[in-house]
Copies of this chain bind each other. A is one copy, B any other.
Amino acid sequence: MVSEDMEARAKGPLRGLYVGRYQPFHKGHLHAVKHILGRVDQLLIVVGSAQYSHTRRNPFSAGERISMIYEALDAAGVDRARYSVFPVPDIHAHSLWVRHLVSYLPRFELVYANEPLVKRLFEEDGKCRIEAIPFLERDRFSATEIRQRMLDNEDWADLVPDRVADYIREIDGVSRVKELAETDTRA
């Protein structure tokens, strides 16, 4: 596998893939992005479930999540030329999902994933190397935890980069999360 990577590098930059829903983008995600950028030439950040917004699990639209990522990485001094952000809709047929990603994105060699399903789907596909991401206090830096804190009127802002917190306030995101929780929604 290593030699294939070398061959890929010879042809162009080594590209890593990082898939998430980023509801919202938090400090754990930022930590992971920095970690991966130390290991690849270019990073493809996939904003998954891109077709959803205004649901309990997906309160923010793909466009809003992309804006959060730009805000956070700009503030962290990450050069835009080092990464690209791609909205990718779900296809609801998991056995096709890896090929769906491959079809949507430029070539990539490395996949950074901790989620068991993502890892298994790439393993069964068998064409990419998969690497784990060192977590930053996983229980705390969790999007589910952040949305719960918003609902409970607890402090959530220190779990996300400052510019993401500003952005969420600007779009009145906390009210949106609360209102969605009062409604009987799917997805």
Please report A residues at the B interface, Cβ cutoff 8 Å: 50-55, 61-63, 66-67, 70, 79-81, 84-89, 91-97, 99-100, 102-107, 115-121, 175-176, 178-180, 182-183, 185-187
Contact = CB atoms under 8 A, between A and B. Distances in A.
A54 B68 CA distance: 30
A102 B63 contact: yes
A51 B121 CA distance: 16
A178 B116 CA distance: 9
B121 A61 contact: no
Contacts of A61: 95, 103-104
Contacts of A70: 106
Copies in the complex: 6
B103 A62 contact: yes
Contact of A187 (B92, B97, B118, B178): B92
Contact of A180 (B81, B103, B117): B117
Contact of A55 (B91, B94, B96): B94
A183 B115 contact: yes
Contact of A54 (B50, B94, B99): B94
A89 B89 contact: yes
